[in-house]
Structure 1
């Protein structure tokens, strides 16, 4: 049995790594999968600091660590490449640049200076470029990990996975009559995704097969599952809000069944 520990959407919250150490001690042979969105700085959370720590974890134990690229990392790469000067600053990049520039230079002369951060953090940014978008373990495992989920309307969701537009929409819904409706999962494997705090997700089930998912102030792991189908697990715990008490969710999964077997949450 292969065990996977999944976490993501930490947005600079380095304290989550202490929670991770506790979970890893409980499941010492597990593979840890980071599913994206680390780079932002909110409050005391330091995005580049978290990136560096995650990189160290990966390099220290490469066979048991997988690090995926999230939508915020992709937006940052687009910004540093000069492809999009708007999206990442609006998503938290402006605060990240300000905090990292002040930390590295000791003054405010180079606030929002793309070239300054590129020069000082080129190695780390180059590492982010190498991160995959999706992780599908071997055929014996009925599970896949990605940041955005999968486009279940695609002919081949695993092959066609991409950040397909500038708004980085979730691929978690079908749109019917202008209402968000959870799409079915015909893949025969579980899908673990993040991207939006689970409390903020509103959605209905086809033919009202289950009660609708409504807005909440709490962000526990949420499961979307229709009868006779494999589940989809949404695990974003809401660390993007910058509350230092919110560490984010960690889910533990049995790869052979694709099912959640343990969870560690703030609420």
Structure 2
């Protein structure tokens, strides 16, 4: 029997990811959906990408593009970088690639190119790193950067009146387009949580792996939760993201 598992942000925490997959007792039949931000944070950023490339040979995987993935991809392709990126995890990725061969970097660039901005499954569930703004759905989004940068979907979910129901006049139209929407990007630790949070029909699976939290995975049918130990405990000599 196969499961469909959705994973929150990884941020280079490969050791924690390996532990998490052991806890899940992964089967080759399981479908894995990753919500982005595989890099920028801990020292295993480049190794995490290598691991995911190999994992996709065993399991059916969907790799959604995160904002940090886009930044690292641009740097790999063109050398483009900026100080703010370097200060918020980028330096860890630059360091992680120092000993990679050009051939290995080419494989990684292909991995980044093949990521998707969002994934919509047959049960009307949407998987996207950050969100979307178009009231008619992500396929009509004006700027693709919104998929991996925009926070308004989650901000709206947090602020919605709990008594509002689908169909009510002020219930957000974006929410009604899908049965469920799974996102990362904004750590739930910002609201004092350490496990995935559901607001309306929005599931936020980013549990702060870049900082002091674990990596989380959720069985999207049963809602069974799996978590690693806090990622920083695997990298005691590092600071992670600032």
Q: What TM-score, normalized by structure 2, do the two folds share?
A: 0.75
Residue 7 of structure 1 is matched in structure 2 by 7
- The verdict on how the C-alpha distance between 1:3 and 1:142 changes in structure 2, with shifts beyond 3 A counting, is farther
2:194 is paired with a residue whose SS is: coil
Residue 221 of structure 1 is matched in structure 2 by 196
Deviation at 1:168, TM superposition (A): 2.0
RMSD between superposed Cα atoms in Å: 3.0
Match of 1:90 among 87, 92, 98: 87
Q: Following the alignment from structure 2 to structure 1, what is the Cα–Cα distance between the partners of residues 214 and 21?
A: 10
1:261 is paired with a residue whose SS is: coil
Q: Following the alignment from structure 1 to structure 2, what is the Cα–Cα distance between the partners of residues 73 and 132?
A: 11
Residue 75 of structure 1 is matched in structure 2 by 71
- The verdict on how the C-alpha distance between 1:188 and 1:34 changes in structure 2, with shifts beyond 3 A counting, is closer
Unaligned runs of 5+ in 2: 161-170, 231-242
How many residue pairs get aligned? The number is: 213
After superposition, the C-alpha distances for 1:21-75 in whole angstroms (9 at most, x for unaligned) are: 43244x7643111111112242xx41000010011011233xx221222111112
Residue 108 of structure 1 is matched in structure 2 by none
Q: Following the alignment from structure 2 to structure 1, what is the Cα–Cα distance between the partners of residues 88 and 49?
A: 17
Where in structure 2 are the equivalents of 1:177-256 lying within 5 Å?
181-182=159-160, 184=172, 185-200=175-190, 215-216=191-192, 218-225=193-200, 231-241=201-211, 243=212, 246-254=213-221
Structure 1: 4+ residue segments shifted above 6 A:
none
- The verdict on how the C-alpha distance between 1:188 and 1:130 changes in structure 2, with shifts beyond 3 A counting, is closer
Unaligned runs of 5+ in 1: 105-116, 201-214, 226-230, 255-259
After superposition, the C-alpha distances for 1:170-219 in whole angstroms (9 at most, x for unaligned) are: 242567xxxx734731114200010111121xxxxxxxxxxxxxx31x42
Asked if the contact 1:69/1:133 (under 8 Å) is kept, the reply is yes
After superposition, the C-alpha distances for 1:70-105 in whole angstroms (9 at most, x for unaligned) are: 11111222333448521532331122212431x45x
Q: Following the alignment from structure 1 to structure 2, what is the Cα–Cα distance between the partners of residues 97 and 196?
A: 23
Where in structure 2 are the equivalents of 1:129-168 lying within 5 Å?
129-138=113-122, 141-151=123-133, 153-160=134-141, 162-164=144-146, 168=149
Q: Following the alignment from structure 2 to structure 1, what is the Cα–Cα distance between the partners of residues 110 and 144?
A: 19
Asked if the contact 1:235/1:250 (under 8 Å) is kept, the reply is yes
2:24 is paired with a residue whose SS is: helix
Residue 108 of structure 2 is matched in structure 1 by 124
Rg comparison, structure with higher value: 1
Residue 24 of structure 2 is matched in structure 1 by 23
Q: Report 1 or 2 for greater relative contact order, CA contacts < 8 Å, sequence distance ≥ 6.
A: 2
1:36 and 2:33 aligned: no
Specify which structure has the higher proportion of helix. Answer: 2
Asked if the contact 1:134/1:145 (under 8 Å) is kept, the reply is yes
